[in-house]
Structure 1
Amino acid sequence: MCTYNGASFLAEQLESFQRQTHRNWTLYVSDDGSQDQTLHLLQVSSIQWGGGGRLQIVEGPRRGFVANFLSLTCRTHIKADFYAWSDQDDIWKEDKLQKALVWLKTIPGHIPALYCSRTELMCESGMLLGYSPKFSLAPHFSNALVQNIGGGNTMVFNQAARELLQEAGDNLAVPSHDWWAYQLISGAGGKVHYDPVPTVLYRQHDENLVGNNSCWIARFKRLRMVFQGHFYEWNTQNIHALETMRHRLSQEHQAKLTQFKAARRQKFILRILGFQRAGLYRQTLFGNLGLILATLLKKI
């Protein structure tokens, strides 16, 4: 878990860890310089949990949330068979870890594997607001190139997936750690499973409303970001990061990355044909309409 001035809701998240039906876990927290009561709450929980290293705190890199999650993932002293990312202000459902591990254990250990799920949305006070979109199309690198289907707060992955992330390192300039994980693991021929049943209560704030793409306001905000060039910039960052790990991508996905990268620079017709050859798709009708619009406007 990564923290930064998260005292307002941290206790509820820590309590949800304690309620997990899967009990064999250790919590590592990378704090990015909190100035509120975050560290105090963590230290109190560590004592209440009986010590023994069940909750361990390290200092984050102070370069933003993406660098914090990637640096924590890359810390070599942390060793386990499976790993889960957590935000500081959500609430995990009691069977989150157990459900993820049931699927992950069906995948041979040498194959990178990533579990993620839908979320149930709640406001700051904890009142339930609905659900994130329910995706039905299969996870794939052609989808990962233009969309992230799983929030990092739902992700659980095996050691083989972690080794990929460690090899890529924590100095990447990518828009988000979770989108990067989906791209890298799917691109390397790993297995990705999207669970349509929510495993996390995802707390919505004014500053993270765009993370909830289930309402029309958030969708139009995302569309505005396309017009402003943010989507183009994010794709540029992701492509550069994927190029550093091209040797880990399957031959099929190396070709798709090349097609995607080349098509972005092409004129109108060739750009459309290039994206078709790469097989790009998003999970919803509205998302695909936005993808078509971004392609037409050269904003992808």
Structure 2
Amino acid sequence: MKKAQILLSTYNGQKFIAQQLDSLLQQDHENIEILVRDDGSKDDTVSVLESYGAKYPNIKVIKGENKGVISSFFDLALNASETADFFAFCDQDDFWKPTKVSRAVSLLGKEKSNIPLLYFSRLDIVDEDLQFIKHSPIPPKGASLENALVQNIATGCTIVFNRAMLELFKSHVPAVNKITMHDAWFYLLGAAFGKIIYDEESHLLYRQHSSNTLGMADNKLKSAIVRYKNFQKKGKENPITKQVEEFYHLFKDKLKAEQAKLIRDYLFKQNNFITRTLYTFNTPLYRQNDRDTFIFKILYALKKY
């Protein structure tokens, strides 16, 4: 049976970490390893991890210094098993259904292993007591490089990838301060160089915390205003453009001609008001709904994306 390794990053997660570890240990895929990196927790998270590590030989714990979530997940990927076939990102406060790993491995296993493969899925949004709230939306326009350049739709805790994707990541590791999030980077890699598998089934309970309510407003106008302000706030430092610049810098020699043109147009048409304005009307780049695409175009025209 193919080996899967779960890459779990923790930080001050004592409230839910035991419940999450229990769900990982109850996976119906029999060949699983769990690599945990603690990002310098100041609560009892490490004690919980060490107790599990002492009890279960398939759990390995790395006690690291506080680097932040992106660096922590990158460290996990860079220290991943040399014998595993598949790798799954994991957050500390969710709850995995028993089929979480086996479902991803089953779908990924149908594809050619020499191609970078990225699986991600729908999820069940729940409250802190794991009571169901709603399903996450299915991306209506699908995954593509045209989407990945300006939006991440691959929620990290659902991502599973193969060894070819891991080796692609390790070949050109980006500067952490130039990307938006680890999952966004992997989505970009998959969209450009691999194959993306989206699963409309959910195999994960995703805890929705009170501090994570962006886009949850029921009123469409209010939601649009909130999202515009959020994009604009992020746009002050143009993090998405920085990420695209880093991607182009690292991989321009590996891109197909049409991919390179797609990226150059996005990056360099910003520098002139006329070309920037024309680009907003003709860009092939898109977000998953028309409202967010419209907001993206406005901010791009204002050179704030």
Task: Compute the TM-score of the two structures, normalised by the length of structure 1.
Answer: 0.90
Structure 1 runs, 4 residues or longer, greater than 6 Å off: none
Cα distance in structure 1, aligned partners of 2:299 and 2:13: 36
Alignment-derived partner of residue 57 in structure 1: 61
Alignment of 1:109-124 (within 5 A): 109-124=113-128
Asked if the contact 1:118/1:150 (under 8 Å) is kept, the reply is no
Q: Which amino acid aligns with 2:211?
A: E
Q: Which amino acid aligns with 1:82?
A: F
* 1:30 CA displacement: 0.8
Alignment-derived partner of residue 10 in structure 1: 17
Is 1:139 matched up with 2:143? yes
Cα distance in structure 2, aligned partners of 1:279 and 1:60: 42
1:253 to 252, 255, 259: 259
Alignment-derived partner of residue 99 in structure 1: 103
Alignment of 1:178-217 (within 5 A): 178-188=183-193, 190-210=194-214, 213-216=215-218
* 1:185 CA displacement: 2.0
Q: Which amino acid aligns with 1:181?
A: F
Asked if the contact 2:123/2:135 (under 8 Å) is kept, the reply is yes
Alignment-derived partner of residue 3 in structure 2: none
Cα distance in structure 1, aligned partners of 2:66 and 2:138: 34
Alignment-derived partner of residue 4 in structure 2: none
Identity %: 31
Asked if the contact 1:61/1:68 (under 8 Å) is kept, the reply is no
* 1:222 CA displacement: 2.8
Is 1:244 matched up with 2:250? yes
Relative to structure 1, the CA distance from residue 229 to residue 31 in structure 2 (aligned partners, 3 Å threshold; closer, same or farther) is closer
Cα deviation digits, residues 172-207 of structure 1 (max 9, x gap): 32110001111122112x101121222211111233
Relative to structure 1, the CA distance from residue 20 to residue 272 in structure 2 (aligned partners, 3 Å threshold; closer, same or farther) is farther
Structure 1's unaligned 5+ residue stretches are none
Relative to structure 1, the CA distance from residue 249 to residue 231 in structure 2 (aligned partners, 3 Å threshold; closer, same or farther) is farther
Cα distance in structure 1, aligned partners of 2:168 and 2:21: 28
Asked if the contact 1:164/1:185 (under 8 Å) is kept, the reply is no
Cα distance in structure 2, aligned partners of 1:21 and 1:35: 33
* 1:77 CA displacement: 5.3
Asked if the contact 1:115/1:192 (under 8 Å) is kept, the reply is yes
2:50 to 25, 33, 43: 43
The 3-state SS of whatever aligns with 1:101 is helix
Cα distance in structure 2, aligned partners of 1:232 and 1:106: 41
CA RMSD of aligned residues (A): 2.1
* 1:66 CA displacement: 0.5
Cα distance in structure 1, aligned partners of 2:73 and 2:80: 14
Q: Which amino acid aligns with 2:20?
A: Q
Cα distance in structure 1, aligned partners of 2:152 and 2:236: 12
Q: Which amino acid aligns with 2:205?
A: L
Q: How many residues align?
A: 293
Relative to structure 1, the CA distance from residue 276 to residue 259 in structure 2 (aligned partners, 3 Å threshold; closer, same or farther) is farther
Alignment-derived partner of residue 38 in structure 2: 31
Asked if the contact 1:121/1:203 (under 8 Å) is kept, the reply is yes
Is 1:271 matched up with 2:276? yes
The 3-state SS of whatever aligns with 1:27 is strand
Asked if the contact 1:225/1:231 (under 8 Å) is kept, the reply is no
Asked if the contact 1:30/1:72 (under 8 Å) is kept, the reply is yes
Q: Which amino acid aligns with 1:83?
A: F
